[in-house]
């Protein structure tokens, strides 16, 4: 049984249904310009608007993230595990990261943590995603 199944069982049930679709700029989320990533997903590449997630989706994501973090005594350990999983599944990106693994794994964890915490605040989420994008320009 996976750790996530253990956590759901401890809490009494799996996360409940989410309440409605996500919204972008106050409108239902839908791509205006279709970009395919080889996996039939669509992305809106024409704009950078606020993302409004239904409260049920926000709670489910935050609960899942909190459950993941609770599996580890130290945030550093949680960071290392998620960073190793990322590298194992996408080895082509390894050469892009030149900072020590311990440093970058904590930065990554902190960024994911902020993204999850900001999910219920469209303005803060928008600003942080913009900052992350700016930080990744070369």
**Mean pLDDT of all residues belonging to the chain:** 77
* Cβ neighbours around 33 below 10 Å, total: 10
The Cα 57–Cα 64 span in angstroms is: 11
pTM of the predicted model as reported, rounded to 2 decimal places: 0.65
> Model confidence over 28-80: pLDDT tens digits?
555 444 444 455 556 566 667 778 889 999 999 999 999 999 999 999 999 99
pLDDT of the residue at 108: 92
- Picking from 132, 134, 133, 120, the residue whose alpha carbon sits closest to that of residue 50 is 120
Q: Is 97 buried (19+), middle (13-18) or exposed (0-12) by CB count in 10 A?
A: middle
The answer to whether residue 17 scores a pLDDT higher than 50 is no
């Amino acid at each position: 049984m996976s750790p996530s199944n253990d956590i759901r069982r401890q809490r009494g049930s799996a996360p409940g249904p989410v309440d409605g679709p996500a919204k972008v700029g106050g409108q239902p989320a839908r791509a205006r310009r279709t970009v395919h990533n080889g996996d039939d997903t669509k992305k809106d590449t024409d704009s950078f608007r606020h993302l409004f997630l239904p409260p049920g989706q926000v709670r489910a994501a935050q609960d899942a993230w909190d459950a993941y973090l609770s599996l580890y005594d130290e945030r550093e350990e949680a960071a290392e595990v998620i960073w190793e999983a990322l590298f194992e599944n996408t080895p082509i990106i390894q050469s892009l990261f030149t900072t020590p693994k311990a440093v970058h794994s904590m930065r990554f964890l902190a960024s994911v943590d902020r993204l999850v915490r900001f999910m219920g605040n469209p303005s803060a989420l928008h600003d942080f995603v913009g900052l992350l994008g700016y930080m990744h320009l070369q």
